[in-house]
Amino acid sequence: MSDEHHETTPGLPVEPPVTGNAMIDAALRGVADLGDLPVEHHLARLQQVQDLLNEVLESSRNPGQAGVPGPRAR
């Protein structure tokens, strides 16, 4: 039996998942490298990501716009 570990190696980039929604994908990329930033920059980055995600939620509530697409069918 193999004893494989699927953990990330510190210092190596982690690819965030792709949702198909450009704004959500941008938000996920915004936190993918959070561990590489100094701690004093974390709050500002997380606030940016929260703003992006709030924008996505608000745009999905507008009746004139289509909702946020779900994951792509494979």
Per-residue tokens: 21: 């929604």
Pairwise CA distance, residues 69 & 67, whole Å: 6
Let me know: does 30 contact 45? Beta carbons within 8 Å: yes
Per-residue tokens: 13: 């980039």
The pTM for the full model equals 0.60
> Tens of pLDDT along 17-43?
899 999 999 999 989 988 889 999 999
Spell out the domain ranges in the chain.
22-61
